Amino acid sequence: MKILRIVKLKKWILTIFVSILTISCYYFVSPLVLSFSSPQVKVFEQVWQTVNENFFDPEFNGVDWQAMRSRYAPLAAKTNSTEELAVVVNQMLAELNTSHTHFYTQAEPAYYQIAGIFRRYLQKTIKQFLPNGKLEYTGIGIYTEKIEDNTFIKAILNGSPAEKAGLVVGDRLLTVDGESFSPIKSFVGKANREVKIQIQRQSDSSPITIALVPQVFNPATMFLDVMKASVEVIEKEGKQIGYIHIWSYADPIYQEQLETELVFDRLKDADGLVWDLRDGWGGATPDYLNIFTAPTPTITSIFRDGIKREYQRQWTKPVVMLVNRGSRSGKEILAYGFRKYNVGKIVGSQTAGAVVAGSPFIMSDGSLLYLAVSDVFVDGERLEGNGIIPDVEVALPIPYGEGIDRQKEKAIEVVLQELSN
């Protein structure tokens, strides 16, 4: 009887040991083995581990991060390219329900744009993965959105090949030189060469073919170039309405350019201003509001010709902020302060609610993980997941919009109302 109990005890101990060993192998040995089975699984493991070590919330926003590894690793093992892997990885990252958390490949303009924003930190790491070691890509200057398996233009960079050729927001993209549209692959090796893009402008219209010439974009300079190209002075009802679109605020040079335009250059004589912060990237800091809120002395300069020249580094005339779902991060902090300090009206649609701090990590195959590494509060309030609701809401449906910008039109109208008060 005693011997039987000992045998049963040994079996029980052996069962526990095997269970522990199985679990250990599942979580530690299995991923290691898988990492040698394909380059995709190796990158998947690297992404998972990077999130595990660097995501700002140690509780992973309430998600069982170990379980996510178990759920998505088998799917990653079935992929045959980085692009296929990106679909799986981004499904896993979406479980965290947090902005500034996305996996990018070299098949996307955003890859180069983020790398350009953080170029000072990434240059040495990323150089080996870039053609000729240069951080650049060939494109036509558009942002696109997938809606019901169709690709539509949702924004166009000012002065870009797309704008010059007459493409407009709302166009459905069909083909490029007879092949399916791809934002990067469609234009590889085609810089300064004419390509033919087939689009559909209305839901019931026949396709249109438009010829244009793609260009090489340098992410380090492109957003300043398109910002300068966006500047307009619009004559309406006897008034001059200034307009400027800041696509990225991830460098002080954009604020410096805004202040130059307002104080010394093309917008200085405008009666009012539309400050467009739609789409693109954030990065702004709250003190960028100072040009609208902080009083400064008037400076008078007298040169040899004896003419007095005065300038005031504060904009005291009406200003309207224009936002949409693509206004994110630091731009949302500006919108928060714009309202709090009664600078002017906010027009457009609700902002992204993407207000945490992100940092890029380059994976072993050159892909880029953008990851939320710090939570952010504004005056003790968390904007992440909420966003800013405009004072004047204007919907702007994308599909077949024919380039009609009702949000911009409304912003101009609001400025004129302010001028008449």
User: At residue 23, does pLDDT exceed 50?
Assistant: no
The model's pLDDT over 67-116, given as tens digits with 9 standing for 90+, comes to 999 999 999 999 999 999 999 999 999 999 999 999 999 999 999 999 99
Q: Does residue 377 form part of some domain? A: no
Q: What's the pLDDT at 57? A: 98
Last residue in a domain, options 166, 188, 217: 217
Nearest by Cα to 141 from 63, 37, 49, 215: 215
Q: Which of 28-37, 265-274, 295-304, 322-331 has the lowest mean pLDDT?
A: 28-37
190-240 tens-digit pLDDT: 999 999 999 999 999 999 999 999 999 999 999 999 999 999 999 999 999
pLDDT band at 56 (very low <50, low <70, confident <90, very high): very high
Same domain, 209 and 272: no
Q: What is the mean pLDDT of the chain?
A: 91
Whether residues 270 and 399 share a domain: the answer is yes
Q: Report yes or no: 69 and 31 within 8 Å, Cβ to Cβ.
A: yes
- pLDDT category at 123 given cuts 50, 70, 90 is confident
Q: Residue 396 domain-assigned?
A: yes
Tokens of 251: 């460098």
Q: Are 11 and 130 contained in the same domain?
A: no
Q: What is the pLDDT of residues 238-252, one digit of tens each?
A: 999 999 999 999 999
| pLDDT attached to residue 309 | 77
Kindly report the CATH number assigned to the domain that includes residue 166: 2.30.42.10
Domain boundary among 194, 217, 240: 217
How confident is residue 305, by pLDDT bands cut at 50, 70 and 90? confident
Domain membership flag for residue 382? no
Query: Looking at the domain assignment, is residue 380 inside a domain?
Result: no
151 with 260, same domain? no
Three-class SS of the chain = CHHHHHHHHHHHHHHHHHHHHHHHHHHHHHHHHHHCCCHHHHHHHHHHHHHHHHCCCCCHHHCCHHHHHHHHHHHHHCCCCHHHHHHHHHHHHHCCCCCCCEEECCCCHHHHHHHHHCHHHHHHHHHHHCHHHCCCEEECCEEEEEECCEEEEEEECCCCHHHHHCCCCCCEEEEECCEECCCCHHHCCCCCCCEEEEEECCCCCCCEEEEECCEEECCCCHHHHHHHHHCEEEEECCEEEEEEECCECCCHHHHHHHHHHHHCCCCCCCCEEEEECCCCECCCCHHHHHHHHCCCCEEEEECCCCCEEEEECCCCCCEEEEECCCCCCHHHHHHHHHHHCCCCCEEECCCCCCCEEEEEEECCCCCEEEEEEEECCECCECCCCCCCCCCEECCCCCCCCCCCCHHHHHHHHHHHHHHHC
Tokens of 379: 């005056």
Is residue 325 located within the same domain as residue 407?
Answer: yes
- Tally the domains of the chain: 4
Give the pLDDT confidence of 132-185 residue by residue, as tens digits: 889 999 999 999 999 999 999 999 999 999 999 999 999 999 999 999 999 999
pLDDT band at 34 (very low <50, low <70, confident <90, very high): very low
**Average pLDDT of the residues in 354-369:** 97
Same domain as 393, residue 313: yes
Q: For residue 65, give its domain range.
A: 38-135+359-372
Please report which confidence band the pLDDT of residue 32 belongs to, taking 50, 70 and 90 as the band edges. Answer: very low
**pLDDT value, residue 392:** 98
On whether both 269 and 324 belong to a single domain, the answer is yes
CATH number, residue 298: 3.90.226.10
Q: Is the pTM of this model over 0.75?
A: yes
Asked whether residue 270 is assigned to any structural domain, the reply reads: yes
Same-domain status, 256 and 392: yes
User: In this structure, is residue 200 part of a structural domain?
Assistant: yes
Shared domain for 124 and 154, answered yes or no, is no
User: Is residue 344 domain-shared with residue 366, that is, in the same domain?
Assistant: no
Same domain? 254 vs 270: yes
Q: Assess if residue 76 is contained within a domain.
A: yes
Instruction: Report the C-alpha gap between 364 and 333 in whole angstroms.
Output: 34
331 within a domain of the structure (yes/no): yes
| 276 and 227 both lie in a single domain | yes
Q: Looking at 217, 249, 270, which one is the last position of a domain?
A: 217
pLDDT (mean) for 33-61: 89
The CATH number for 368's domain is 3.30.750.44
pLDDT of residue 16: 46
